[in-house]
């Protein structure tokens, strides 16, 4: 399997089970050949609050979910460095139960979540390379930046406490540092989430939320070209909310763990399996999840 295939499948397959586990994304900053398209599909099963707005002031949240993800990635060059853009649409169906302001609520729902658009640029250590040059590339240290915008396109009803969409814009900015030693790669990520206001929150209230800060680390081992295993750990803090100007005592402190096994069938097709879990101290609920993914690549590969 050519090394270009390894980089392509590291890029795409790690994204298919990413909604759980604090959006842990192993090898998200890896250098890839420019001019390649990747279409990924994933599905999974989870217990607890996957795909819900993390600002929800709900205690003891329980849920049983089936979710799917459709994702498109395009690799390109920007200022002679490797970059990529991506669009992802989640779908979920499930049942939720929990307490809001000491009142029991439950919801059964299925539909689309919020659209996610991402731009990623490696500004150090990852030159933009074509098919012939990428074969000779060997990673040392890569430094990059990611910007994600979550667009409020998901199903939303202000008369419901639990929704699939958030009815607000959200931005995530990340700084990524990655370094390889032989078959091992260590990647560290610092993120900040910035939330817009939801002017039509539950029963017509206005929801505002403070920034949330996240630190993540990933360790990836390459068994052979295209076949790898990654572990991820993340910690997030902040995100205290206010409703109609009244501050809530629901600052979030949460841990996320994830593991991904990726295997390319051939140059164009690949599979992945992701396990994830999370533990929360504050708003939201704990969760455990499993997801499987498939990816198709095309272009000059």
Per-residue pLDDT tens for 66-123? Answer: 889 999 999 999 999 999 999 999 998 888 777 666 677 777 888 998 999 999 999 9
> What value does the mean pLDDT take over residues 18-23?
48
- pLDDT tens digits, one per residue of 146-159: 999 999 999 998 88
Q: Provide the pLDDT for residue 37.
A: 96
Q: Provide the pLDDT for residue 132.
A: 86
pLDDT for residue 265 is more than 80: yes
* Total residues belonging to the chain: 301
* The two three-digit tokens of residue 189, written as one number: 């990520």
Is residue 249 exposed (0-12), middle (13-18) or buried (19+ Cβ within 10 Å)?
exposed
Nearest to 146 by CA among 168, 125, 177: 177
* The two three-digit tokens of residue 36, written as one number: 């390649």
Nearest to 180 by CA among 221, 146, 216, 145: 221
Place of tokens 């206010």: 242
**Which secondary structure element, helix H or strand E, spans residue 257, and what is its range?**
strand 252-264
Angle, alpha carbons 74-80-82 (nearest 5°) = 35
Place of tokens 């649409």: 89
**Which domains, from first to last, does the chain contain?**
3-299 (2.40.128.130)
The mean predicted confidence, pLDDT, of the chain is 84
- Beta-carbon count within 10 A of 239 CB: 23
The answer to whether 23 and 54 are in contact (CB under 8 A) is no
pLDDT for residue 47 is more than 90: no
Nearest to 34 by CA among 76, 78, 79, 81: 76
**Which secondary structure element, helix H or strand E, spans residue 5, and what is its range?**
helix 3-13
In three-state secondary structure terms, 233 is strand
Backbone angles phi, psi at 51, to 5 degrees: 80, -5
Angle, alpha carbons 224-68-272 (nearest 5°) = 10
Range with the poorest average pLDDT among 55-64, 126-135, 148-157, 283-292: 55-64
What sign does the dihedral 39-45-50-51 (CA atoms) show?
positive
Return the beta strands (E) in 152-286 as ranges: 170-181, 184-195, 207-209, 212-224, 227-238, 241-243, 246-247, 252-264, 269-281
- pLDDT tens digits, one per residue of 228-245: 999 999 999 988 888 898
For 191, residues 6+ apart whose C-beta sits below 8 A from its C-beta are 172, 173, 174, 213, 214, 215, 216
């Amino acid at each position: 399997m050519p090394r270009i295939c390894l980089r392509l499948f590291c890029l795409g397959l790690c994204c298919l089970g990413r909604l759980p586990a604090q959006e842990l994304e192993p090898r998200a900053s890896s250098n890839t050949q420019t001019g390649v398209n990747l279409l990924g599909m994933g599905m999974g099963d989870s217990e607890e609050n996957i795909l819900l707005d993390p600002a929800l002031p709900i205690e003891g949240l329980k849920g049983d979910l089936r979710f799917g993800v459709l994702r498109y990635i395009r690799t390109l060059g920007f200022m002679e460095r490797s970059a990529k853009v991506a669009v992802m649409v989640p779908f979920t169906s499930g049942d939720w139960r929990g307490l809001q302001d000491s009142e029991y609520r439950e919801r059964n729902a299925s539909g689309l979540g919020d659209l996610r658009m991402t731009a990623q640029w490696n500004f150090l250590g990852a030159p933009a390379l074509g098919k012939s040059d990428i074969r000779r590339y060997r990673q040392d240290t890569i430094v990059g930046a990611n910007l994600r915008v979550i667009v409020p396109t998901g199903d939303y009803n202000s008369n419901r406490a639990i929704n699939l969409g958030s009815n607000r814009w959200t931005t995530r900015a990340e700084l990524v540092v990655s370094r390889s030693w032989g078959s091992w790669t260590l990647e560290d990520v610092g993120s900040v989430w910035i939330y817009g206001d939801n002017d039509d929150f539950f029963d017509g209230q206005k929801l505002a939320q403070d920034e949330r800060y996240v630190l993540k680390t990933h360790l990836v081992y390459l068994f052979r070209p295209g076949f790898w295993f990654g572990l991820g750990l993340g910690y997030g803090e902040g995100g205290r909310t206010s409703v109609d100007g009244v501050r809530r005592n629901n600052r979030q402190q949460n841990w996320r763990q994830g593991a991904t096994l990726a295997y390319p069938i051939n140059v164009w097709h690949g599979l992945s399996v992701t396990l994830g879990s999370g533990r929360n101290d504050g708003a939201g609920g704990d969760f455990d999840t499993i997801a499987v993914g498939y990816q198709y690549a095309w272009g000059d590969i």
